[in-house]
Amino acid sequence: MKKQLGLVLFAFFLVACAPSAASVAAPAKIRIGYQPVMPMMPFFVAQEQGWWKELGAPVETIKFTSGPPMIQAFAAGDIDAAYIGTTPAAIAVARGVPIKIVANSTNGAMGIAMSKDLAALYKSLGPVQALSAFREQQGRPVKIATLAKGSAPDAELRFWLGEQLGLNPDTAVEIVPLGEEQLRQAMVANQVDAATLMEPFATMVAKQNLPFEVPLWSDAFLPGVPGSALALRTDFIQKYPTVAKKMVEIHLRATKFVEQKPDDAAKMASDLLGADVLPEAIARAALASPGGSFVANPRTGLQMLMTLNAYAAKIGVLPRTVSAEELYDFSLYDAVVKEHPNLGD
């Protein structure tokens, strides 16, 4: 009897001392997705500064070419966090993928590059007549390259054409979905007449003497809309709230670093991606462009983002409308700013 009682007490001791899922301080590994573009600049800074080490667990960084593959990775549980476009994040939520945006990264970050001929028409005639005149001259619609349907650039391009200009995006122009590298190759080979570009590629157009220019930025027709953001899986937030909060703090700190020390940030991005991919001078110029605006506050541009998402749902890019409450978790940002007011926007 004493032996049985001892075994019961020993088993109870083991259960009582075992850590519960809710009390685990940090995961065995944290997987963060990113894209090699300037809107992810806070990620580059945090990576180069070694700030991710403060999370208390090894960090694996995973490179993606666009937002839609990130949705798949989130859905499969292959990543815990990502610097992702706001439209792909909304698509993920609409499809039931358990993620939340916890902080913004950039706003007004997309440029529309046009060939010299098209840009001349655009400047002299305005956008609608320019597209019509080009069709009359060339016998075909303007070919506009962008990232895959469901990406932030694709959604913003369609909004400009449909909501701003009152055109049918699928008939007024020919939208050519390409990967980031294929898009640039198509521009170099003059296979397209226009393209949506994020920095640093918009700056590269001017610096590398490509026969394109960027006469239009998304801030002109979607003022203040957040184009990219930091998103986390909701189960990660629930299971590791302290780690999630620290990640937001690091992101805010990195965003302030970009604002206050752009030259240092440019060097870090060049070092991380490689000077052959992103020369430091290009990075510095890109940060000074209209596409180099960084704002972490998740409430900035929120109403304009809801307007964009409503249009995306109307044309089928979003499976359904997504509310701000579904898409965002403001609590982590608020908690960090309460403790560190200097990090708020």
Shared domain check, 244 and 230: yes
Q: Quick one: 318 and 338 in the same domain?
A: yes
Poorest-confidence range of 49-63, 136-150, 240-254, 290-304? Answer: 290-304
Q: pTM (2 decimals)?
A: 0.85
Instruction: Please give the pLDDT value at position 19.
Output: 45
Query: Which pLDDT tens digit goes with each residue over 144-161?
Result: 999 888 888 899 999 999
Place of tokens 């993620």: 99
How high is the pLDDT of residue 24?
61
For residues 123 and 215, membership in a common domain is answered with yes
The answer to whether residues 176 and 122 belong to one domain is yes
Domain boundary among 170, 198, 220: 220
Domain match, 103 and 230 both: yes
Note the pLDDT tens digit of each residue in 89-106: 999 999 999 999 999 998
- Identify the domain boundary among 173, 195, 220: 220
* CATH number of the domain within which 298 lies: 3.40.190.10
Least confident of 19-23, 188-192, 208-212, 240-244: 19-23
Is the pLDDT at 107 greater than 90, yes or no?
Answer: no
Domain range enclosing 311: 28-108+224-343
In the chain, what is the straight-line distance between the N-terminal and C-terminal CA atoms, in Å?
Answer: 66
3-state secondary structure the chain: CHHHHHHHHHHHHHHHHCCCHHHCCCCCCEEEEECCCHHHHHHHHHHHHCHHHHHCCCEEEEECCCHHHHHHHHHHCCCCEEEEEHHHHHHHHHCCCCEEEEEEEEECCEEEEEEHHHHHHHHHHCHHHHHHHHHHHHCCCCEEEECCCCCHHHHHHHHHHHHHCCCCHHHHCEEEECCHHHHHHHHHCCCCCEEEEECCHHHHHHHCCCCEEEEEEHHHCCCCCEEEEEEEEHHHHHHCHHHHHHHHHHHHHHHHHHHHCHHHHHHHHHHHHCCCCCCHHHHHHHHCCCCCCECCCCCCCHHHHHHHHHHHHHCCCCCCCCCHHHHECCHHHHHHHHHCHHHCC
Please check whether residues 215 and 228 belong to one and the same domain. no
Q: Domains in the chain: how many in total?
A: 2
Residues 31-83 pLDDT 10s = 999 988 888 899 999 999 999 999 999 999 999 988 889 999 999 999 999 99
Q: For residue 20, tell me if it sits in a domain.
A: no
Q: Domain for residue 289, yes or no?
A: yes
- Flag whether 119 is in a domain: yes
Residue at 330 is within a domain: yes
Q: Name which of 290-299, 301-310, 318-327, 329-338 the model is least confident about.
A: 290-299
